[in-house]
Chain A
Amino acid sequence: MAEQEVKLMKGNEALAHAAIRCGCDGYFGYPITPQTEVIETLSELKPWETTGMVVLQAESEVASINMLYGGGGTGKRVMTSSSSPGVSLMQEGISYMAGAEVPGLIVDVQRGGPGLGTIQPSQSDYFQATRGGGNGDYYILVLAPNSVQEMADFVDLSFELAFKYRIPAMILSDGVIGQMMEKVVLPPFKPRRTNEEIIKECPWAATGCKGRKPVVITSLELKPEIMEQRNLQLQEKYRKIRENEVRYETKFMDDAEYMIVAFGSAARIAEKTIELARAEGIKVGLFRPITLWPFPEKEIAEAAKKLKGILVAEINAGMMIEDVRLAVNGTVRCEHYGRLGGIVPEPEEMVKALKEKFL
């Protein structure tokens, strides 16, 4: 039962532990606040001596993501982590991975922008994460943890989904979840896949072509007729993901007249907001998208049917609210509350916003 032991650690640390435990083959990253504990923890744990997992400090974020492209192309479970400005640098590589259908995990522990911005928490990479971020018609899977436990749990889930659909997956966290310490039960150890297992499970991967035709992994195709077909295949894959992989959580919705839609750390603050508002007799519930892409649009539309209003609370100037508005399609009023530039909204501010906008 040693593996069930409850630990107290930061989100970034839990993520690093979980990576080793879920059979990750390689980590490539470059330090940046507020996620540097990921590579620090991995360097302390020295998994190359135990599971054989590679941990490499790359020369830049551009290098990290291209190492992911290469590693993922051989069917290995590879990951990188960074914070907002670093993830911006990776967008070209992510687009290439999406185009070449290479799985991999990218972790963004968001900080305020634009540009170098600030090192304080933010959720202002929502558009970049959920709209692809790089060039071309593509999406990546985006999971938004709201606790240290989910920072740990989403590593294996991301890899599973990334390989199931041959798509890059992202854990979109932020400085609050990365830096905060909470109780966590780490996932059980799972061995890294052997080369034989990879060859069997990933026939598309470049695993050495002895005795078979070489596989070519590329996003380039100069014949538009073929390129259109490849795009249509991607779109078909995205349709399947939208149909099957939506994840969300609701709380206090049974008698709710109002709903706060929030993800990640903002959803935790929203929970406290709801406790405070309910103490004043305001019937408000929570809808927390766990997958930001695919977005739980049908579920939000369904929940909105009996509501008087929706407050979308984000640590940005209003990004997810666009998806919520598209989901409810004008049937209920949607308002936004957020703070910018690294300021994290406090629960009482959210209560005030709820009252000002709806009561």
Chain B
Amino acid sequence: MKAEIIIAGFGGQGVLSMGKILAYSGLMENKEVTWMPAYGPEQRGGTANVTVIVSEERISSPILSQYDVAIVLNQPSLDKFESKVKPGGILIYDGFGIINPPTRKDINVYRIDAMDKAAELKNSKVFNMIVLGGLLKVCPIVSTDGLNKALYKTLPERHHGLIPLNMEAVEAGGQIIEKV
């Protein structure tokens, strides 16, 4: 299995770290991974995006034209990446602030109201983990076990106490994602 994933949203939403955790989860499961961030002006106050590839085989290009999965967390990202999902692929979007929802019929569109859920949990910081939970529900490219291991591996020990909270957010994401 190979998943070519783009994650895009506003700077500060945790787009790059979500991608990083996903990449580390792949590493935990001995998969091949690449993580290629937009490090330019996008990151400096506009939209941010990262391409993550998780694969059983060696990965050729870290730069892609089309994606198996697009996770879009704001309108500009949706406008930019909806057309770049491969036919039959997956588009996941957060409904918050979306005026023009996706229109393509040849892809699987999922909506996850992670912004609302994070507000409900009174913890905006777990927003990206909710989205990640949604992704793993509809595209189980890595296991939640691998994800859990990745968090222990990547977070400094002083933050390990927060991992159960993050895993709850992942669980919640899996529950609230729905097919459109």
Contacts and interface: CB of A to CB of B under 8 A. Distances in A.
A180 B62 contact: yes
A271 B66 CA distance: 15
Contacts of B139: none
Nearest to A272: B61
B27 A275 contact: no
A347 B39 contact: no
A272 B39 contact: no
A122 B35 CA distance: 18
Contact of A181 (B35, B64, B65): B35
B65 A8 contact: no
Interface in B23-67: 23-24, 27, 32-37, 39-41, 59-66
Given A8-B23, A183-B32, A271-B60, A342 B65 contact: no
Contacts of B34: 180-182
A45 to B, nearest CB: 16
A183 B33 contact: yes
A347 B60 CA distance: 10
B60 A272 contact: yes
A34 interface: yes
A68 interface: no
B167 to A, nearest CB: 20
B60 A346 contact: no
Contact of B65 (A182, A275, A348): A348
Contacts, number: 70
B137 interface: no
A85 to B, nearest CB: 16
A268 B59 CA distance: 9
Given A176-B62, A344-B63, A347-B65, A182 B39 contact: no
A181 B40 contact: no
Contacts of B60: 268-269, 271-272, 275
Contacts of A182: 33-35, 59, 62
A270 B87 CA distance: 23
B111 interface: no
Contacts of B35: 8, 180-182
A179 B61 contact: no
Contacts of B27: 6, 8, 183
Contacts of B32: 183
B177 to A, nearest CB: 26
Contact of A347 (B23, B41, B63): B63
A119 interface: yes
Nearest to A286: B60
A118 B66 CA distance: 25
A34 B61 contact: no
Contacts of A348: 65-66
Nearest to A179: B39
Contacts of A273: 61
B23 A176 contact: no
Given A8-B33, A179-B39, A182-B34, A268 B65 contact: no
A179 B37 contact: yes
Interface in A170-229: 175-176, 179-183
B64 A347 contact: yes
Interface string B140-152: 0000000000000
A42 B167 CA distance: 33
Contacts of B36: 176, 179-181
Contacts of B66: 348
A34 B36 CA distance: 13
A186 to B, nearest CB: 14
A322 interface: no
B64 A346 contact: yes
Contacts of B23: 8, 181
A349 interface: yes
A272 B41 CA distance: 27
B63 A175 contact: no
Interface of B: 20, 23-24, 27, 32-37, 39-41, 59-66
Interface of A: 6, 8, 33-34, 118-120, 175-176, 179-183, 265, 268-273, 275, 342, 344-349
Given A119-B39, A347-B64, 9 more contacts: A8-B23, A34-B39, A179-B36, A181-B23, A182-B62, A183-B27, A265-B62, A265-B63, A273-B61
16 contacts: A8-B27, A8-B35, A180-B36, A181-B20, A181-B23, A182-B33, A268-B60, A269-B60, A271-B60, A271-B61, A272-B63, A342-B40, A346-B65, A347-B64, A347-B65, A348-B66
